[in-house]
Amino acid sequence: MNKAKARYDQLATNRSQFLDTAVECSELTLPYLIQHDLRQRGNTKNLTQPWQSIGAKAVVTLAAKLMLAMLPPQTSFFKLQVRDDKLGEEMDPSMRSELDLSFSKMERMVMDYIAASSDRVVVHQALKHLIVSGNALIFMGKDGLKNFPLQRYVVNRDGNGNILEIVTKELISRKVLGAELPEPLPNAPGDDGYKTGSEEDDVEVYTCVKLDEKSGRWVWYQEAEGMVLPNSRSTAPKNASPWLVLRFNTVDGEDYGRGRVEEFIGDLRSLDGLSQSLVEGASVASKVIFLVSPSATTKPQTLSKAGNGAIIQGRPEDVGVVQVGKTADFATAASLVQQIEKRILDAFLVLNIRQSERTTAEEVRMTQQELNEQLGGLFSLLTVEFLVPYLNRTLLVLQRSNQLPKLPKDIVRPKIVAGVNALGRGQDREALTTFIQTITQTLGPEALLQFVDPSEAIKRLAAAQGIDVLNLIKTPEQLQQDMQQQQQMQAQQSLTDQAGQLASTPMMDASKDPDATDRISALTQAIQPPQ
């Protein structure tokens, strides 16, 4: 009874410190993102809004850049390739270009499937959770992806960081759940103090995910109100699990990750405090108060009731204005705010390219290069924990639905390619183009034609570009036919030239040789193309 709930509460103890830090990071950036594990859904009345928007801008921008790098919209983030050690043994190396073209077509099918789904929306939401809290959980179900925030799941890892156990917590309406759960007691207080008993009340549904050591497969089931829900048990292969536990930064021995916001939480705290001081100080400084001397003849009531341009009796020296002499303090705080903002924007890759006539292409290129260098170290962990299992699961789903042919695992393997400036097979295209240009510039065009097969180069360029070459590139039979026609035309042209040269010679003069006309006619018939 309540094994799942007890296990969730047990593992939640280790999560508490990470959740507290994540909530604070969320309060300084996106307050709605991560909250404490509350019983009620949609409890946003007590959310504290930060005094600055730099944190929100930084998180959203970095999430968008990571999204662009991992799941680019117009190119593939992976490529299928044949193992080099299998080319000479189990298949002809000359088939490599043909296989690359077939693999390129499969890649487009997978990317079209991803584009038609809502995966990118969920992944972008998960990336924001990763940046803020350092943790995210994605479930790849039949209806698409689902993101679990940190307050809705707990994990248990071994010493090497491998996942051993996952327990999630969801709030689902009793009516929607549809299972025959125990009847609730009217107005019975729950563990958290909230009264329950209505059919509309939410039920805590726990999902336990474990790795079965005997079968080597992932096994999970759902539990609610102390009973296992019917038809909730399921399994998945170890290398194609639908449960993707993501971390941003890892620390040895910790079950949970550390976010980017936590690394700069000191600057965000300072920025929020200074922004509050500037706003409140500006509000005070902008308040206008007039003082009237107690012994003055000018009456305050007359002054307050006077309209614009009114004429009243009084002396100017009787009236003064209260001014806050804190302009220097405001300037110091504003200067410090600008410095902190710059550090935060640089840390989160919010690059502002100078828009002017003097902005050169070299400046833009250097900015892109800097962006690529700073993001490069973030892909290693996300590649292992997200892209690889996400791709394996997607390929498995498409193969099970017969939308994609099954690939031999021992021969064909997928390779993840992630980046900012060079994404997907674009790396192969650039490498091949640079190789051809180097040969041409170093050895000359003659060496290029001598050592490089043009048809093979064209096929590889098409595969690198992801272009469907069906009915676009000529087949070997068509090339052979074109070559034969060209040779026939050259032979005919040669005979024609010879006939013209012979006809102009004295020996082919019909007045001197009666048989010259017959020889010219025979030569003309010989060069005519066959009907």
Tell me the CA end-to-end span of the chain in Å, nearest whole number.
91
Single-letter amino acid code for the residue at 13: T
Residue 168 and residue 229: Cα distance in Å, rounded?
A: 15
Contact 63, 128 (CB under 8 A): yes
DSSP 191: T
Number of CB atoms found within 10 A of residue 328's CB? 8
Cα 434–Cα 437–Cα 441 angle in degrees, nearest 5: 135
User: 401 in helix, strand or coil?
Assistant: coil
* pLDDT recorded at residue 214: 87
Residue 151 and residue 246: Cα distance in Å, rounded?
A: 14
Task: Determine what percent of the chain is predicted with pLDDT higher than 70.
Answer: 73
pLDDT in tens, 204-216: 899 999 998 888 8
Secondary structure of 46-88 in HEC code, one letter for each residue? CCCCCCCCHHHHHHHHHHHHHHHHHCCCCCCCEEEEECHHHHC
Q: What share of the chain is helix, strand, coil (3-state, %, to 5)?
A: 50, 15, 35
| Interstrand relation of 153-157 and 78-82 (parallel, antiparallel or unpaired) | unpaired
State which of 51-65, 175-189, 346-360, 479-493 shows the largest mean pLDDT: 51-65
HSE (side-chain half, CA atoms, 13 Å) at 389? 20
* pLDDT recorded at residue 270: 96
Nearest Cα neighbor of 33 from 118, 127, 156, 119 is: 127
Average pLDDT over residues 144-152: 93
pLDDT in tens, 265-307: 999 999 999 999 999 888 888 888 888 888 888 888 888 888 8
The predicted model scores a pTM of 0.74
Contact 166, 153 (CB under 8 A): yes
* pLDDT recorded at residue 234: 93
Contact 99, 82 (CB under 8 A): yes
User: 349 in helix, strand or coil?
Assistant: coil
Contacts of 174 (CB under 8 A, 6+ apart): 181, 184, 198, 199, 200, 201, 202, 203
Confidence of residue 125 (pLDDT cuts 50, 70, 90): very high
Q: Where are the beta strands (DSSP E) in 103-162?
A: 135-141, 144-148, 153-157
Q: Find the length of the chain.
A: 531
Q: Where are the beta strands (DSSP E) in 174-281?
A: 188-189, 195-196, 202-211, 217-224, 227-228, 234-237, 243-247
* pLDDT recorded at residue 48: 82
Average pLDDT over residues 56-82: 83
pLDDT in tens, 223-249: 988 888 888 899 998 888 999 999 998
* pLDDT recorded at residue 516: 59
* More confident call, 417 vs 369: 417
pLDDT in tens, 310-354: 888 888 888 888 877 777 778 888 999 999 999 999 888 887 555
Contacts of 270 (CB under 8 A, 6+ apart): 336, 340
Q: How far is CA 376 from CA 260, 370, 441, in A?
A: 15, 10, 32
H/E stretch holding 107: helix 96-116
